[in-house]
Amino acid sequence: NRYTFSGKILCGECGDTFKRRIHSCTGYKYTAWCCSTHIKDKDKCHMLFVKDDDLKQAFVTMMNKLVFGHQMVLRPLLQSLRGLNDQSRLLKIEELETAIEKNREQKQVLTNLMASGYLEPALFNKESNELAAEAEALRQEKDGLMRSVNGDMVKIEELQRLLRFTSKGTMMTEFDDEIFLSFVERITVLSRKEVVFEWKCGLSLK
Question: CA 81 to CA 84: how far, in whole Å?
Answer: 5
Please report, in tens digits, the pLDDT of each residue of the chain (206 residues total).
779 999 999 999 999 999 999 998 888 899 999 999 999 999 999 999 999 999 999 999 999 999 999 999 898 888 877 765 566 777 888 888 899 999 999 999 999 988 888 888 888 899 999 999 999 999 898 888 777 766 678 888 899 999 999 999 899 999 999 999 999 999 999 999 999 999 999 899 99
In sequence order, which residues have a C-beta less than 8 Å from that of residue 196 and are 6 or more positions away?
12, 187, 188, 190, 204, 205, 206
The pTM (predicted TM-score) of the whole model is: 0.68
Question: CA 102 to CA 137: how far, in whole Å?
Answer: 14
